[in-house]
Amino acid sequence: MNSNRVVESRGDRLFNLINYTILFLFTITILYPLVYIVSASFSSPLAVVSGKVWLWPVDFSLAGYEAVFKHKLIWTGFANSLFYTVVGTVVNVVLTLMAAYPLSRKDFYIRHVIMALFVFTIMFSGGLIPSYLLVKDLGMIDTRWALIFPGALSVMNVIITRTFFQTTIPDELLDAGQLDGCSDFKFLLHVVLPLSGPIIAVLTLFYAVGHWNSFFSALLYLKRQELYPLQLVLRDILIQNEVDAEMMSDVADAAARESLRELLKYSLIVVSTIPVLVIYPFIQRHFVKGIMIGSLKG
């Protein structure tokens, strides 16, 4: 018999039972809409409209996905979102690292002043109209750069990254590098960055998901549909019911067209979510580690 076994009291068992029950209910509340959307996307249009889909696909069909990829803007939107995500994330991560590293150095004497200016931008901002006028004056309206440069730096991510550097990079490494004649840039490139894999993974995930899911900036700054990201195309279909006639060219009956229009919403949600779901498992370990280290102290 194991003498190290912890004996739970009746109160502990009751607490655990209540705790697990609440967590189970929360899990069901979160998972069910996701399961429903996936099941509906693989069901027939008639089953979706008639409300027959509850948990599993009914009358399995790929009609929704076939119609999605007939839309002339789907592929363009997908390519645009990929461009905004890749280029925007690279710009975001580089600027964040370049801003956070000097702010983490104790020999950078004005770091507190600059950090105060950064924090000031969190509490006070010009608002939507001044931001639009600024982007317009810079000549970025209806260009790809309007979705990349205005939000190129997140102050919260700078704070997290600065904290990571302060808690992870020992001062002794900097002292040793300076004794060997290592410049600040070489120290950042060859010492700091190789030790910063977790926080770079966190920044990449945060920024990439933000770019992939963003549609409001595109709604404000873009006019040409060929520049629309996938999420804005999805919004037009979900909210405004702007469905290309080519997507339903093989459907003659009006009722069948309306059913397919409803099914398209679920198929589009799944298509737009897949890239994030595919990437996350590969950086989950770094993501959790980076968040924990970055939250140790401010």
Token pair for residue 233?
Answer: 């195309």
**Which residue type is seen at 40?**
A
Query: Is 24 part of any domain?
Result: yes
Looking at 202, 227, 252, the residue that finishes a domain is: 227
263 with 215, same domain: the answer is no
Which range has the top average pLDDT, 43-52, 84-93, 101-110, 184-193?
84-93
| Mean pLDDT score of the chain | 81
- What is the mean predicted confidence (pLDDT) over 83-111? 91
In this prediction, residue 64 carries a pLDDT of: 78
CA dihedral of 180, 185, 187, 188, whole degrees rounded to 10: 180
pLDDT tens by residue, 222-246: 988 889 998 888 877 766 555 555 5
Verify that 60 and 81 share a domain, yes or no: no
Structural domain count, the chain: 2
Say if residue 152 is in the same domain as residue 273.
Answer: no
Given 227, 259, 280, the domain boundary residue is 227
Tokens of 50: 């008639």
- CB count within 10 Å of CB 146 equals 22
pLDDT of 90: 95
Q: What is the C-alpha to C-alpha distance for residues 1 and 152, in angstroms, rounded to an integer?
A: 61
| Domain span at 149 | 72-227
pLDDT top residue among 220 and 249: 220
Residues 203 and 107 in one domain: yes
Q: How confident is the model at residue 33 (pLDDT cuts 50, 70, 90)?
A: confident
- Is the model's pLDDT at 140 over the cut of 80? yes
- 3-state SS string over 40-102? HHCCCHHHHHCCCCCCCCCCCCCHHHHHHCCCHHHHHHHHHHHHHHHHHHHHHHHHHHHHHHH
Tokens representing 57 are 């696909």
Q: Note whether residue 89 is domain-resident.
A: yes
Maximum Cα interatomic distance, the chain, rounded to a whole number of Å: 79
Confidence of residue 6 (pLDDT cuts 50, 70, 90): low
pLDDT band for position 89 (cuts 50, 70, 90): very high
Using CA atoms, how far apart are residues 247 and 259, in angstroms rounded to an integer?
A: 13
What is the separation, in whole angstroms, between the first and last Cα of the chain? 47
Q: What does 155-167 look like in DSSP terms, one character per residue? A: HHHHHHHHHHHHH
Can you give the pLDDT at residue 70? 76
> 60 and 178 share a domain?
no
Higher pLDDT among residues 166 and 92, named by residue: 92
Q: How far apart are CA 96 and CA 16, in angstroms?
A: 42
Same domain, 219 and 262: no
Is residue 178 one of the residues assigned to a domain? yes
Confidence of residue 298 (pLDDT cuts 50, 70, 90): very low
Mean pLDDT of 121-148: 88
What pLDDT digit, counting tens, does each position of 155-199 carry?
888 988 898 888 888 888 887 887 877 888 888 888 888 888 888
- Averaged pLDDT for residues 91-109: 90
Are 50 and 142 in a shared domain? Answer: no
Is residue 34 located within the same domain as residue 111?
no
Task: Judge if 88 and 163 occupy the same domain.
Answer: yes
- We report the CATH number of the domain holding residue 220 as 1.10.3720.10
Q: What pLDDT shows up at residue 293?
A: 57
Same domain, 86 and 159: yes
What was the pLDDT predicted at 248?
A: 53
Q: Are 25 and 40 in contact (CB under 8 A)?
A: no
Residues 89 and 24 in one domain: no
Tell me the pLDDT band of 94, cut-offs 50, 70 and 90.
very high
Instruction: Judge whether residue 87 has pLDDT over 90.
Output: yes
Burial of 84 (0-12, 13-18, 19+ CB in 10 A): buried
Q: What is the pLDDT of residue 86?
A: 93
- Over residues 66-80, the mean pLDDT reads 81
**Would residue 237 count as lying in a domain?**
no
- Same domain for 61 and 76? no
What pLDDT was estimated at residue 23?
92
